Structure 1
């Protein structure tokens, strides 16, 4: 009984450590920072992690282990929507302020007391957030503060953007208009200066936000929700992925399974490529060929970055 309790505690610690991490972690980090892995190093640590990742995946947590790194696919780890009244959201925000410099506290400090109400929007002296879902609990407080400061002042901003868990951060320049939550994800919406077009960046992948000294600023011309709906979806594709039954729950959620094949119609191409990369050891085939080539290219890039 005591041994089972220790195992459950270790698995819980690992899950929350990865959920709370802004990026993938290497094995040594887990051994040094997650309670339950003390004293394990090298191959011993890797074997234990391999068994634990498999266990938490069976429990429904989309954990990943690849190229010396471990992480949780937060995009696939959806939580049910939470509905709060104005008073309840304000109390939670105050609790965040009193307890720590966390995400909910950041929203309260930024003027967002209406965090949720199934799509309702309320604007105060700062940008509005029109729904509360799982991204809100992962947003970095300093990032929220800096973005909203630029929005209030109509200031161009420079920031680092992480396009994928294993990718290098990219420097981007934007005229920010606000933060919009759509289907559980929070997006920073604005004018992409370098591309000369509207753009929506996933807020949880933005860091190191700072105001630019350039005086130019492009204002919005339509509701921000429309911008997100048009920009975020991106190219779509019809595809078939072969993966054994019992594997690839993320794929099954958006496709139709027939034996070892999952068929997709009009699915987001980028999402499909990234998900197949995360499931690479289990994937047995991908059609069409150009999607398969993108998956292989992303895998090769990850391998090169780890050398």
Structure 2
């Protein structure tokens, strides 16, 4: 075991020597250079060195390290054997993600923080979850465990993903409000969309005969049904669809806040920082959510615009103060 460990360490060092050759202003490495600069070759006889080096080269080629051998044709080392790494064959292509893939990776990373969903997130569900959700994480808000991911069950998520992947419709119980009894809904699912720390199920509502969105944490008792009859239309942006339906259900506003650095993560995630110190701009946020959230983070978060929101935050804080007293 110790000999194999030493062999592996030497072969790794040899590979790094080739990868770093350009930093030595070298286009190739000679046997003499390798013998003097790569550990575990020194102290060997000429025959033992060459045998070990050839064995290492053979092993590296088998595992995919493309080392080329050639004879130097000019210069002071003319006639010597030399080696170089075929970088074009060894370098991996650049890794790029589509907006859908980036969304899934972002969700998976956040889910890994959740106790129940941690193992589930690492199980490979992310390969299936995008389902058309268009989301570029470089320009949109982050997802945090303060939202739906902290309470979304693995069972619910697994059922939705299986239905989407297999092209089947689903039925489920939906709790539209805390006081109303749950209703049974039928849907051809199109995808899961993260928006403002919430996760929405988007698809074609077969009872309403129209596209609809449902907040995932209000869904329970999902049952897979027959094959879906209403596929997602080509070119449909599910993120835009969710935002459009949310606008119909709530009052969306723009606001400016001063936020203490490192505080009020939920508010900072929903906005963008302005050039002005500790100032954040929030666009198209739910007015009621902003009032409640800003009040809960006071005085670390202070609304500076619009005035009617400032007034409502102050009124809410005073009401809470009276209750405490």
Question: Smaller-chain TM-score range?
Answer: 0.3 to 0.5
Larger CA Rg, structure 1 vs 2: 2
TM-score by length of 2: 0.40
